[in-house]
Amino acid sequence: MRKIILLCAAFVVLSAGSAVARAQSQPQSQSGQAPVIQINVSRTIQAVNYMAKGSTRIDFRGTALMPQATGQAKVEAKNGAVLISANFDNLSPAGQFGGAYLTYVLWAITPEGRANNLGQLLLDGAKSKVQVTTRLQTFGLMVTAEPYYAVSFPSEEVVLENFVRPDTKGNVDAVDAKYDLLQRSRYKDLNLAPLDDDPNVPLDLLQARNAKRIAQSHDAAKYASESWAKASDSLTRAEDYQTRKQKKSVPSAAREAVQAYEDAITISVKRQDDERQANERASAAQREAQAKADQEAEAQRRVLAEKQQAEAERQAAESDKQKMQADLAAAKEAQARAEAQRAQLEAEKAQAEAQAKQQAAQEQADREKAAAEQAEREKQELRASLLAQFNKVLETRDTPRGLVVNLGDVLFATAKFDLRPEARERLAKLSGIVLAHPGLNLAVEGHTDNVGGDAFNQTLSEQRAQSVRQYLIEQGLEASTITAKGFGKTMPVADNGTAEGRQKNRRVEIIISGEVIGTKIGTPQTPPAQTPPSQP
């Protein structure tokens, strides 16, 4: 079964200056329309989990940058890959966003934040068609204006984003996820003039020229000389083919140039960032060395001053020493006698206090033990009483999990989850007993036999468990004290090879537990640890 997951994901457009900038999320727009994508502006997009084989459809709608733009896509998952066939309409040339922009690129964004370039959108008037594949399973789709087709990160000019259609099939769950639009630079900050609009120059060659301009702005010739030279060589060949009107050879050489310039930009940005970090580390090391030298000089000064002060104090103390020794000798004997008397009194007092504490602790332990035994007896009595009361209504057994009340399959219509009148009557009685004893928790668990498919049995077990839970809530039980879960045919209690066994396996069990009824009757209790008496 295909499962579609809507991912609420935050677009965080970052400022330029390093290969990987830190994301700074801003509050989401409160208006009903999508805001214009700009620096430090947040927005949301929907992502879909294409889990199983089969196809589905998804729409595209324009952002505030191009509100008239529309699109549709057929997405088909098969053989471990996802095929995307998309059609777009009402697109206008990318150059409207500035001289840096020449084309559009389709992106897949994962919940982990990775942006994947799926391919270029070539305009046929105001329309475009694209068919691409991806190995991703969960992703959102968007279209951005770009300077050339081979960019590694999306620009801030988001013109289209996907939108889940009302008829998209599958179970829909809300899952939190976050991703960042990482960019090396804001193309608008480069203030690039539009390239000559010569209709005889193919788009691939225009993109190569554009890529060169952007690579120059990143000092790629200095920081990525090998990639720059390779790119320049490819562009030279493309320009030569264009001059000699060898039109079939131009696109290949131009696309090689675009890719090489993109590599040069990536390498240049990384090396400049490494250089900046190295300079910062060197400056920090220099500051640290100077601070250390200053600290050492100050420490030496303090040591000298302390040494001089200590010498003066030593001389003064020496003059007082002999006088103090005489006085000390006279006082020592008297002090020794007083200390002996005080020590004897403290020992006697400590012994008396220890005996009193020991007696109080023993009395407290006896009281706690008696209270615990009384509480356990009351729990066991209540558990036994409830077991007897529940058995009068439905078959109940005592287990370490709690009191397990069994609703057999006969209380439901065959292959249905509606409660029969007999089941409602018994559950009403059960509810009355539970309402009289606050503190009980109920876990409703549905089970089936092995007849039928896994998905059918799983759904039926869940529906029966939910029916029982809902009826118990209607009888006045707190919803927060009742859970419901289906296990399908995964937990049989009898052999599914016989009709009798299958009937036993078709059941709904209510596990009743809680602190007020303790553990299973007959389960031995661990006695409380006894405090050994202290030795006098």
Closest among 346, 433, 421, 364 to 392, alpha carbons compared: 433
User: 3-state DSSP call for residue 104?
Assistant: strand
Give the pLDDT of residue 457.
93
User: What is the per-residue pLDDT for 330?
Assistant: 81
Per-residue pLDDT, 526: 52
Beta strands 507-513 and 402-408: pairing type? Answer: antiparallel
Give Cα 359 distance to the centre of its chain. Answer: 55
* pTM score of the predicted model: 0.47
Taking the C-alpha atoms of residue 378 and residue 517, their distance in angstroms, rounded to an integer, is: 8
**Angle ∠(10,25,36) on CA atoms, nearest 5:** 65
Q: What CA–CA distance (Å, rounded) separates 60 from 73?
A: 8
**Torsion (CA) 14, 145, 72, 92 in degrees, nearest 10:** 140
Helices (H) and strands (E) in the chain, counts: 7, 17
* Whole-number Å distance between alpha carbons of 499 and 502: 5
> pLDDT digit of tens for each residue in the chain (536 aa)?
344 444 443 343 333 333 333 333 333 333 333 322 233 334 567 778 876 667 889 999 999 999 999 999 999 888 778 999 999 999 999 999 998 999 999 999 887 778 899 999 999 999 999 999 999 888 889 999 999 999 998 988 999 999 888 876 543 433 333 444 444 446 777 778 888 778 888 988 889 888 899 999 889 899 989 989 998 999 999 889 989 999 889 888 888 888 888 898 889 988 998 999 999 999 999 999 999 999 989 899 999 999 999 888 888 888 888 888 878 888 888 888 888 888 888 888 888 888 889 888 888 887 888 777 777 888 888 899 999 999 998 999 999 999 999 987 667 877 788 888 988 999 999 999 999 999 999 999 999 999 889 999 999 999 999 999 999 999 999 999 999 999 999 999 999 999 899 999 999 999 999 998 887 766 555 544 554 544 43
User: Taking the C-alpha atoms of 331, 334, 340 and 342 in order, what is their torsion angle to the nearest 10 degrees?
Assistant: -90
Contact 521, 384 (CB under 8 A): yes
Which residues, including other chains, have CB under 8 Å from residue 170's CB and lie 6 or more apart?
1, 2, 3, 4, 56
Q: Residue length, the chain? A: 536
| Phi and psi based region of residue 442 (left: phi greater than 0; alpha: psi -120 to 50; beta: remaining) | beta
Pairing of strands 171-176, 70-78: unpaired
Q: Can you say whether the dihedral through the CA atoms of 100, 106, 108, 109 is positive or negative?
A: positive
69, 159 contact by CB (below 8 A): yes
How high is the pLDDT of residue 30?
35
Rounded (5°) CA angle 407-409-414: 145
CB contact set of 49 (below 8 Å; sequence gap of 6+):
3, 4, 5, 137, 138
What was the pLDDT predicted at 326? Answer: 78
pLDDT of the residue at 4: 42
Spell out the long-range contacts of 266-271 with Cβ–Cβ below 8 A and sequence spacing 24 or more.
Answer: 266/19, 266/152, 266/184, 267/220, 267/223, 267/224, 267/227, 268/215, 268/218, 268/219, 268/220, 268/222, 268/223, 268/224, 269/18, 269/19, 269/184, 269/218, 270/19, 271/223, 271/224
- Token pair in block for residue 179: 């991703």
> Residue 253: which region, alpha, beta or left (left: phi > 0; alpha: psi -120 to 50)?
alpha
Residue 214 vs residues 153, 222, 402: alpha-carbon distances, Å: 14, 14, 70
33's tokens? 């329309």
Pairing mode, if any, of strands 171-176 and 441-447? unpaired
Identify the architecture of domain 394-517 in CATH: 2-Layer Sandwich (3.30)
Which of 84, 460, 16 lies closest to 268 in space, CA to CA? 16
Predicted local confidence at residue 418, as pLDDT: 86
363-391: b or e for each residue (b if 16 or more CB lie within 10 Å)?
A: eeeeeeeeeeeeeeeebbebbeebbebbe
The whole-number pLDDT of residue 10 equals 38
CA 34 from chain centre, in angstroms, equals 25
Report which residue type is found at 88. F
The architecture CATH gives domain 3-176: Sandwich (2.60)
Radius of gyration of the chain (CA): 40
Strands 402-408 and 396-399: antiparallel
How far apart are the C-alpha atoms of 129 and 41, rounded to whole Å?
30
Specify whether the CB–CB gap between 117 and 151 falls below 8 A.
yes
Structure tokens belonging to residue 152:
């590694």
Name the token pair of 149.
């087709």
The angle, 0 to 180 degrees and rounded to 10, between the axes of the packed helices 225-243 and 250-393 is 120
> With contact defined as beta carbons under 8 Å apart, do 133 and 75 qualify?
no
| Backbone φ and ψ of 292, nearest 5° | -65, -40
115, 179 Cβ separation under 8 angstroms: yes
Residue the block writes with tokens 């036993």: 504
